[in-house]
Structure 1
Amino acid sequence: MTSSFPTAPSDDAHAAAVQAVYRSHHSWLRSLLQRKLGNASDAADLAHDTFERLIRARLDTPLAEPRAYLRTVAQRLLIGRARRAALESAYAESLALLPQAVAPSVESRALVIEALEQICELIDRLPMTSRRIFLMAQVEGLSYAEIGVRLGLSINAVQKSLARALVHCYEVVYG
């Protein structure tokens, strides 16, 4: 018999559910991640981050497939780490082109990287078509007509999708 949590699981029920998943699947997840990463320390960190996400998720029902859930969360965290590394690398390359006198401080660099990560996460939450339209308009500077031609959409569809994307960004930022 599958039990289910009430609409809002109590802190005790939530903690017990997370502990049960942790006890049953933590070593499996660490082993999986160590094989992928080739490093026990990074695997342990990523497993920790994965369970931290599970704790914060406050799921309404128990996990039907805990390993699939944990693998998906860990994969997304790996992608996030790779994206962060790529952002840091691209930012470092652009900074290398600046004269030393105008290079930002270490603190400023960290703030920029953090802001870029937040922007990437915000954009990643958009549906694929809206994300593509948003990036074509905001990054590439394409007109609605140009985007429509590239994606095979009407100008009206492009406008509506971009408007939804902008509303999404506004709601995330300003609540």
Structure 2
Amino acid sequence: MSQHNIDTLYREHHSWLHRWLRGRLGCEHSAADIAHDTYLKVMLSNSLPTDDQPRRYLTRIAKSLMIDLFRRRQIEAAYLETIRHLPEQEIPSEETQHIVVETLLEIDQMLQALPTHVRQAFLMRKLDGLSYKEIATKMNVSVSSVEKYVAKALAACYLHSLKASS
């Protein structure tokens, strides 16, 4: 990908993309951030859209980034709501809050990468405290399937922790 091509893509479509994002997000700053991140992803991917589809290509990337933004906002809001009920002396510092939110986002990404049935079984086991038999009944699968699902999720967690620590 040449610098000329990315410059041309930016000049020809940035204003349009920014307006499109502003209309969907209702926020000038978020639109600017997502537009910037869209072009950054294009540059990092080392591929450009075909000549007849640049806006479709940019829109697909921007939509993915908007989904990430909305997920982040949901996770941040849920965390802030949770700590809001703590006594003032137990509320973590802003730095710690940031670290916790980033960790929650990583966990969410890892869980979202799992097949739906694996994620559901894992969350029912770990968050709801259900037995394998209860999960099997709810999911209408065998207990051995639930055991395999939970084991697969635990393996994914372990692999993710290894990647994060290296």
Which aligned pairs between 1:8-47 and structure 2 lie closer than 5 A? Answer: 13=1, 18-19=6-7, 21-47=9-35
Q: What is the match of residue 123 of structure 2?
A: 135
Q: What is the match of residue 4 of structure 1?
A: none
Deviation sequence 1:85-130 (CA, Å, 0-9, x none) = 2222222222222111222112111111111111111111112222
Which residue of the other structure, out of 85, 100, 103, is the alignment partner of 2:73? 85
> What CA distance in whole angstroms lies between the structure 2 residues aligned with 1:125 and 1:153?
21
Q: How many residues align?
A: 161
Query: CA 1:105/1:159 → structure 2, altered by over 3 Å: closer, same or farther?
Result: same
1:147 equivalenced with 2:135 (yes/no):
yes
Q: What is the match of residue 114 of structure 2?
A: 126
- Report the CA distance between 1:63 and its aligned residue: 3.9
- Report the CA distance between 1:20 and its aligned residue: 5.1
> What CA distance in whole angstroms lies between the structure 1 residues aligned with 2:84 and 2:72?
18
Unmatched 5+ stretches in structure 2: none
Query: CA 1:82/1:151 → structure 2, altered by over 3 Å: closer, same or farther?
Result: same
Unmatched 5+ stretches in structure 1: 1-12
What amino acid maps onto 2:40 in structure 1? E
Q: What is the match of residue 158 of structure 1?
A: 146
Q: Which has the higher contact order (CA 8 A, sep 6+)?
A: 1
Which residue of the other structure, out of 41, 64, 67, is the alignment partner of 1:53? 41
Query: CA 1:119/1:30 → structure 2, altered by over 3 Å: closer, same or farther?
Result: same
> What CA distance in whole angstroms lies between the structure 2 residues aligned with 1:158 and 1:14?
50
1:115 equivalenced with 2:109 (yes/no):
no
TM-score when scaled to structure 1? 0.77
- Report the CA distance between 1:33 and its aligned residue: 0.7
Task: Supply the RMSD in Å over aligned alpha carbons.
Answer: 2.4
- Report the CA distance between 1:18 and its aligned residue: 4.4
124-133 or 21-30, which deviates more:
21-30
> What CA distance in whole angstroms lies between the structure 1 residues aligned with 2:33 and 2:13?
15
Query: CA 1:145/1:14 → structure 2, altered by over 3 Å: closer, same or farther?
Result: farther
| Matched-pair identity in % | 37
TM-score when scaled to structure 2? 0.80
